[in-house]
Amino acid sequence: MKAKGIWLAIFIFIIGVITGCNQKAEPVAIDEKNDKCDFCHMAVGNNQFATELVLKNGKVLKFDDIGCMYQWMKEHKNETVEAMFVRDYETNDWLEADQATYVYDQTIRTPMAYNVISFKDEDKAKKFVEQHGGAVLTYNELGRHTWERNKEMMMEMKKEHMKMDKQKDNHMGN
């Protein structure tokens, strides 16, 4: 009887190890009050621009812009990435980065002005380009994309933030 119990415990342990090793990496919830981009250190919004990397060691990194995620990977080539997640521009649903279709255009406003957005559905990405301009990129093409920030857009966004901060100060009586 005792031997049966030991074999049962070993069997359960082995099944647990096997199923634990087969668990697929998943994105985690964004905490807008606390999460900062692991590249630029700006706040990460719970929106269509948020991205995440899950490293081999289980650590989850969060980014406020697809460009920040790619810049981080460029600077940390020795890190092993288990999974990459982006969000659908229209629905905010998480999807695996290699399953998405991307659109690049200098006029697309993203948090850090890298001007790339992601779509779950290739047809919706193409429709976006038809309506707004830009270029459709595959996941593989995105890996070869030159990640340069739109400096004009950054200056424009900085001015807008300064104006909002001034209005906030005036409203608070400062």
Dihedral angle of Cα 123, 128, 133, 134, to the nearest 10 degrees: -60
Does 36 fall in a domain?
yes
- What is the tens place of the pLDDT at every residue in 4-20? 656 654 555 555 444 44
Residue 126 covered by a domain: yes
H-helix segments, the chain: 2-21, 66-75, 122-132, 139-143, 151-171
Q: Please check whether residue 18 lies inside any domain of the structure.
A: no
Alpha carbon distance 69, 61 (integer Å): 9
Instruction: Write down the mean pLDDT value for the chain.
Output: 87
Report the domain count for the chain. Answer: 1
Whether 37 is in a domain gets the answer yes
Is residue 6 situated within a structural domain? no
Q: How confident is the model at residue 134 (pLDDT cuts 50, 70, 90)?
A: very high
Beta partners for 62? Answer: 52
Greatest alpha-carbon span in the chain:
78
CA proximity to 128, closest of 144, 113, 107, 145: 107
The residue segments making up the domain with residue 36 are 26-171
Helix, strand, coil distribution of the chain in percent, nearest 5 = 40, 20, 40
7 within some domain = no
| pLDDT digits 0-9 by tens, 62-121 | 999 999 999 999 999 999 999 999 999 999 999 999 999 999 999 999 999 999 999 999
Instruction: Give 72's DSSP letter.
Output: H
> Does residue 21 carry a pLDDT above 80?
no
> Residue 16: inside a domain, yes or no?
no
Per-residue model confidence as pLDDT tens digits over 45-76? 999 999 999 999 999 999 999 999 999 999 99
Residue 104 located in a structural domain = yes
135-165 pLDDT tens trace: 999 999 998 999 999 889 888 888 887 777 6
